Amino acid sequence: MDKKIKKFLARFLLPAFIILLFMGCAGMEGKHSPKVPGVIVDTGTLVDQEKSWRGMVLGGAFSPAIKGKISEISRRAGEEAIRKKMPIVYLSTDGFQRLEVQSLDGEPKDRCPLIRERTYQDGTLVREEVKPVCE
């Protein structure tokens, strides 16, 4: 290799490559940025199909089965958790999905109490969210 080419590579291309490498490791913004820890975890696609569900206050007896999508059950469980001030668990009768909701102590946001909702599919946490519930 010619000395001029080696000098060019050493002086310009190598530093440019290193700078680009560090820029790629910098923090991301927008939709690619990491979620706020403890607020939302999204590890997969949430299955929202019409299913039969059985609910209970944690440590209590199961209620009769009801039909609904997980979005409807989520709303119902949030209202129950706030009303009873205890954790609520709903299980799909096929055993694939589980929804756990608990009311959080603290300052309500816009007069709407906060709940923590965890959704599991096949034993794996799919979504965790802290959100207000306005009845």
Q: What is the pLDDT, as a whole number, of residue 33?
A: 45
Assess whether 11 and 59 both reside in one domain: no
Assess whether 98 and 123 both reside in one domain: yes
Q: What is the pLDDT, as a whole number, of residue 120?
A: 92
Assess whether 15 and 74 both reside in one domain: no
| Amino acid (1-letter code) at residue 28 | M
Assess whether 74 and 123 both reside in one domain: yes
- Nearest by Cα to 69 from 54, 55, 51: 51
For residue 8, what are the domain limits? 3-27
Number of domains composing the chain? 2
Tokens at 25, concatenated? 């490791």
Question: Taking the chain (135 residues) in consecutive chunks of 10 residues, what is each chunk's mean pLDDT?
Answer: 72 65 52 43 57 72 78 88 89 88 76 89 90 81
Q: Are 90 and 77 in contact (CB under 8 A)?
A: yes
Does residue 34 belong to any structural domain of this protein? Answer: no
Q: What is the pLDDT, as a whole number, of residue 69?
A: 84
The DSSP-derived string for 16-50 is HHHHHHHHHTSPP-GGGSPPPTTT-EE-SPPP---
